[in-house]
Structure 1
Amino acid sequence: MKFSLKISLVFGAVSFLTCCKDDFLDRTPLANISDAQYWKSANDLKLYTNGYYNDIRLLPSLADWFQTGIYGLDADLGSDNMIKSTYNSDLNGESVLPASNTNGKWDWTTLRGINYFMDNYRKVTDNATLVNPYVGETLFFRALFYFDKLKTFGDLPWINAPLTTTDSLILQAPRLSRSVIADSIIHDLDRAIALLPGKAAAEPSRINKEIAMLLQSRVALYEGSWEKYHQNTPFGVNGQDGTRFFQKAANAAEGLMKLNTYAIENTGAANGYQRLFNQVDYSNSSEVMFWRKFDLSAGITHHWYLFIPLALDRGVTKSLVDDYLCTDGKPASVSALYKGDNTLNDLKANRDPRLAQTVYFPGDAITTNRPNGQPDAIFQFPDLTSSANVPTGYVLRKGTNTEYFQQSGMGNSTSTQALIYFRYAEALLNFAEAKAELGTLTQGDLDQSINVLRKRVQMPDLRLSSIVTDPKWLFPDLSPLLNEIRRERRVELACEGFRHDDIFRWAAAGKLIRGWQPKGARLAQWGSLFSPETLGKYPVDANGYITPYQKVAALSNGFQFKVNRDYLSPIPTDQLVLNPNLKPNNPNWD
């Protein structure tokens, strides 16, 4: 079947639009236009590339029922930052080899459309300055597509030509080393960066040069870490240690930083960190680089805020809250300022302000501007009786917009809180980590990266000369500097969906997940507020910490992540039959 019958078949119908400006909601998708009528002007290219922004396989809307945008991903994907009341079976080694592509992971439809553009855009005779941005966008989205596949499957076929018959190349192509695939992704991004306009010249709501630079630093840091930390495992890459990718990550992030087109915002402002994540419009943000807009008048909404204040079956873990430093810059394990965790107020005292802007504590607003003069709803303690369930006792605050209208003021699906895809803080963290991995990080580098983030919340600088030893470092076999950079990344990006990828690229599931029995708050602090029957639903350990999975037989010894198998997903068996060149399957899936 020829792929070129109708241009509109490239991406199909979707119900959400991605944007950074109101005018994006008016972005016209392709109608049913034949090839003979198409590829005439740069506007044709614009109409075609609109499909990328509308493709939720590239830019998920995270707006389905029970979803909470990016703020539930640490629980949904599986990490040590958040959990759900039902344990993540993938982290427990319970995944099975699929017979077919029922989960959609081995889906190449989007790539087909991208490569079709790359094969046809040269037919347009308009000036290159009009054409180049759309070519750059297409290369960016091909990189984004392949990066997701790289994280999922590792070695892959590299397909950069259009498919003239259904899956013909996929049915024959061999898998190339993940290192080669990463090189190809980075090459696409090099080309995209050269073709895309910078922020100032780019059309609002579209991918620009800086966003491509951030994605490149993300890809390179991921692959560099993977190749270094998976050495001598079934997932390692022969002859590679990640160094060249670390250098590329550092260069891409530093190049973005030197452009000075984005900056950390709300520095020193009260609740400035928390406010960054609850806006409906980021058009004027200096930090949020790319985001999805929702619009009630267009019927493009979600219902996150019916759920975030209720926890919706998700809870922040003790592991995460323990990682926040005290306000003297020292770990809680050694700081004289640490007040313990017998109560939420004790836990909050003298801690990095990002903790209190990530987790709910007594006195925080839940719902404001309620109708008919009703007082604001204020958090005092978790509702352990709620059907939504709070599995750890720690309720996520980050990402909460307290406005009544944004929660349930007009019904169940009226929230228009924007969805963040890329923000500048990640570039600073990528830069610092890559330089530390290379052994070239200086105090000056820290001052323009980690310490910029700390200044937002008025935390002490990280100083190379005075890193305080933490007996509870998660990675005691690594340098103090890398431990603190990883801590900073965890804290700054908490509950934004990064932690799963970080654990996997660091080959850290054996340390952080396998054998881990998640814990939450001390239950006794609410002993007088709930009935014995309610409290009995929350198992505790010998120290009184909520231990949600204590009575789950499958987790009697903690999570049983299979470190020699579960870092990569398997290719469905029917695909191996269709294309024997894909064999062997990923390690220990045969």
Structure 2
Amino acid sequence: MKNRTISILLGLLAFVTGGCEDMLDRFPKDKLTPENYFHTEEECRLYTNDFYSMFPNGSAIYGETADVISQTTLTSEVLGTRVVPSKVGTWNWEKLRDINFFLQHSGNCEDSAVKLKYEGLARFFRAYFYFEKVKYYGDVPWVDRPLASDDTELYKGRDSREIVIDNVLKDIDFAIANLPAEKSLYTVTRWTALALKSRICLFEGTFRKYHELGDYAGILTECIAASKRFIEESGYSIYNSGATPYQDLFSSLKANGTEIILARAYNSSLALTHDVNGYLTSSTMGRPGLLKNIANMYLMIDGTPFTSQMGWEEKTLPEEYVNRDKRFAQTVRTPGFKRIGATAVSAPDLAATETGYQLIKFLQAAKYDSYNSSTNDLPLFRTAEVYLNYAEAKAELGILTQEDIDLVIKPLRDRAGVANLSLANANAHPDSYLSSEETGYRNVTGDNKGVILEIRRERTVEMLMENLRYWDIMRWKEGKRFEKVFTGLYFPRPGEYDLNADGKVDVCIWKDAKPSTNASLVYELEKDLFLTEKDHGNLLLHTDYIRKWNEERDYLYPIPIDDRVLTQGNISQNPGWEDGLNF
């Protein structure tokens, strides 16, 4: 076991030509020594290209679920069925060894400017690596040099998250100071580093606040400073051109550099593809759909809550989309929706979405629907997130102003066709739906409650399907949301339904006697699908088990058993997780 774990820590030295998966180009090991390598920019570039594989792949980016999207199979985190594993990929340290190996020997580079640039890149990725570890596990061992097989630090215990985050911030500050300022869609720059610092500091600051770990104000201030510098110096802005700018930002084959800071590149000619089209249109890939609770969060265009409208609970899809935040119709299929390149309208397909709110974010033309054929670039960091981080950090510290809102919230709402947020009105009248323990966020209190809730609303609808939501729930200490009832579209009775108001019946729901119908999809009530009020109500999902969230345990993942055994308990287990070991 000792040798196996040491081999994990030592890792393999791999190189990629462009930072994308499936493009490995391994360098002969007999030629890779500190004495004869890392002397030129090309050698530094080749080695550090492999670090880009640390970023999430396609399905991880667009495939988030948490409490916003339901699939036919829920994750173990949402179900509450996680167990302590023997080993797991999220407790893998190969890339850290590779990063530290590079940093130890990058001094070989003969060009000091190149040396600093690639040291900055390596330290960016070390910061990213450790941020991911802290998100999953909290306290983790901090190691800043490559370890030999007989090094006692291989068996060291965990350092506190405060120590780790302090070192992470040192790394990311070095990266900000030394990475190039020139924009690049596919390589890390100074602006990527500022965006990462903004993300790290918001996560850690709010996690400490809502989990009552103390010492959160300073790190939220760091988030504000990094975000503000990005806003003032980067030249990035919110993309707002054309009739459907939000939708176009994600369906475009090539990433839009107006707003997207860093993207993962895809290209069919290089066999770099993902499967978002299949995921969103197939009846066999989970049938993902927006949950009703999140659909309710999209505002009316006048800035008032949808849930303040008369009879909102009983509105059908053709009724509820009227005069809504434009992101609603650019995120799910609503009346008038047409596939890219198509002339005919397309209704929601209940065979491909179990909630009825069929997602279209990232969806490309129908020719990409076949298995693993999608090639649109996927964003890793974008400007809207930095704007939202800035607003949230300031709101949490009680220093947000209307001028701040005009700077970072208004551009998002302008693109969505929604009236601007008023700080005074939000705090004077906190939205009852968002503050409800059943439908909203139970942990928000204080004088800024109203505006914090509104920023969370904005973040929810703006950043949907971008691999952030689960971690937002963790830092806000809102895991109990996973226990709530999951529902979809509203149906007032059994019968035929034209879901996109084009005059054609799309689905028929029947009870007692199957009717004659032209609908392509026919479902028997209480057998094929279920409604919340038996013969009417919202689509009712996942009622065959009880979801349970443990407030004392589930905000951190369990440490794998193998590594606990290897260190003879120096690596302690996270609270609440039972692994059967006596140390």
Task: Compute the TM-score of the two structures, normalised by the length of structure 2.
Answer: 0.85
1:359-417, CA deviations, whole angstroms, 9 ceiling, x for partnerless residues?
11132113635xxxxxx4532232x3x3xx4221111111111x233334xxx333211
Q: Which runs of 4+ in 1 moved over 6 A?
A: 24-29
Q: Cα offset for 1:30?
A: 4.0
1:533-585, CA deviations, whole angstroms, 9 ceiling, x for partnerless residues?
724321111251111112x0x22xxx211111111111112211211353431
In the other structure, the counterpart of 1:378 is 345
Q: Cα offset for 1:344?
A: 1.0
In the other structure, the counterpart of 1:373 is none
> Are 2:102 and 1:117 aligned?
yes
Match of 2:469 among 499, 503, 509: 499
Q: Cα offset for 1:183?
A: 1.4
Change (3 A) 1:12 1:48: closer
Match of 2:281 among 309, 326, 332: 309
Change (3 A) 1:265 1:171: same
In the other structure, the counterpart of 1:60 is 56
In the other structure, the counterpart of 2:508 is 530
Moved more, 357-366 or 108-117: 357-366
CA distance in 1 between partners of 2:186 and 2:27 (Å): 18
In the other structure, the counterpart of 1:223 is 204
> Are 2:67 and 1:83 aligned?
no
1:538 touches 1:546 (CA, 8 Å); kept in 2? yes
In the other structure, the counterpart of 2:501 is none
Match of 1:406 among 352, 368, 375: 368
Change (3 A) 1:169 1:426: farther
1:175 touches 1:581 (CA, 8 Å); kept in 2? no
In the other structure, the counterpart of 2:46 is 47
Change (3 A) 1:47 1:589: same
Q: Cα offset for 1:89?
A: 2.9
Moved more, 33-42 or 135-144: 33-42
In the other structure, the counterpart of 2:128 is 144
- AA partner of residue 523 (structure 2): T
1:18 touches 1:59 (CA, 8 Å); kept in 2? no
- AA partner of residue 182 (structure 2): K
2:332 touches 2:357 (CA, 8 Å); kept in 1? yes
| Ranges in structure 2 where 5+ consecutive residues have no aligned partner | 435-439, 497-506, 511-521, 579-583
Change (3 A) 1:247 1:526: farther
In the other structure, the counterpart of 2:418 is 459
CA distance in 2 between partners of 1:461 and 1:494 (Å): 20
> Are 2:265 and 1:319 aligned?
no
Q: Cα offset for 1:204?
A: 6.1
CA distance in 1 between partners of 2:367 and 2:133 (Å): 38
> Are 2:257 and 1:257 aligned?
no
1:288 touches 1:424 (CA, 8 Å); kept in 2? yes
> Are 2:217 and 1:243 aligned?
yes
Q: Cα offset for 1:456?
A: 1.4
Q: Does the residue aligned with 1:520 lie in a helix, a strand or coil?
A: strand
CA distance in 2 between partners of 1:416 and 1:204 (Å): 15
Q: Cα offset for 1:518?
A: 0.7
> Are 2:556 and 1:568 aligned?
yes
2:316 touches 2:490 (CA, 8 Å); kept in 1? yes
**Identity of counterpart residues, as a percentage?**
32
CA distance in 2 between partners of 1:451 and 1:260 (Å): 19
1:130-187, CA deviations, whole angstroms, 9 ceiling, x for partnerless residues?
2221111111111111111111100000010112228x45532221111221111111
CA distance in 2 between partners of 1:308 and 1:59 (Å): 22
CA distance in 1 between partners of 2:304 and 2:385 (Å): 23
CA distance in 2 between partners of 1:195 and 1:453 (Å): 31
In the other structure, the counterpart of 1:293 is 265
> Are 2:334 and 1:345 aligned?
no
> Are 2:147 and 1:163 aligned?
yes
In the other structure, the counterpart of 1:372 is none
| Pairing 1:206-217 to 2, within 5 Å after superposition | 206-217=187-198
> Are 2:418 and 1:475 aligned?
no
Change (3 A) 1:539 1:204: closer
Q: Does the residue aligned with 1:291 lie in a helix, a strand or coil?
A: strand
In the other structure, the counterpart of 1:132 is 116
Q: Does the residue aligned with 2:339 lie in a helix, a strand or coil?
A: strand
Q: Cα offset for 1:425?
A: 0.5
- AA partner of residue 540 (structure 2): T
> Are 2:490 and 1:518 aligned?
no
1:339 touches 1:346 (CA, 8 Å); kept in 2? no
Q: Cα offset for 1:29?
A: 6.3
Q: Cα offset for 1:199?
A: 2.6
Q: Cα offset for 1:52?
A: 1.2
1:340 touches 1:347 (CA, 8 Å); kept in 2? no
| C-alpha RMSD over aligned residues | 2.6
In the other structure, the counterpart of 1:71 is 62
1:511-534, CA deviations, whole angstroms, 9 ceiling, x for partnerless residues?
x223x1111111457832336472
CA distance in 1 between partners of 2:384 and 2:359 (Å): 20
1:83-129, CA deviations, whole angstroms, 9 ceiling, x for partnerless residues?
1112333223211112x21x312110111100000100012222x21
In the other structure, the counterpart of 1:234 is none
Q: Cα offset for 1:17?
A: 4.6
Q: Does the residue aligned with 1:290 lie in a helix, a strand or coil?
A: strand
Q: Cα offset for 1:271?
A: 1.0
Q: Does the residue aligned with 1:530 lie in a helix, a strand or coil?
A: strand
Match of 1:421 among 376, 380, 388: 380
1:173 touches 1:581 (CA, 8 Å); kept in 2? no
CA distance in 1 between partners of 2:79 and 2:258 (Å): 40
1:430-462, CA deviations, whole angstroms, 9 ceiling, x for partnerless residues?
000001111111111111111121111221111
Q: Does the residue aligned with 2:548 lie in a helix, a strand or coil?
A: coil
CA distance in 1 between partners of 2:178 and 2:126 (Å): 14
Change (3 A) 1:331 1:92: same
Match of 2:404 among 427, 445, 448: 445
| Pairing 1:188-207 to 2, within 5 Å after superposition | 188-200=171-183, 205-207=186-188
| Pairing 1:88-99 to 2, within 5 Å after superposition | 88-98=75-85
CA distance in 1 between partners of 2:185 and 2:450 (Å): 42
1:38-81, CA deviations, whole angstroms, 9 ceiling, x for partnerless residues?
1222321111111112x2xx12322xxxx4x62221x2xxx110
Match of 1:539 among 530, 533, 540: 530
> Are 2:337 and 1:364 aligned?
yes
Q: Cα offset for 1:506?
A: 0.6
- AA partner of residue 520 (structure 1): G
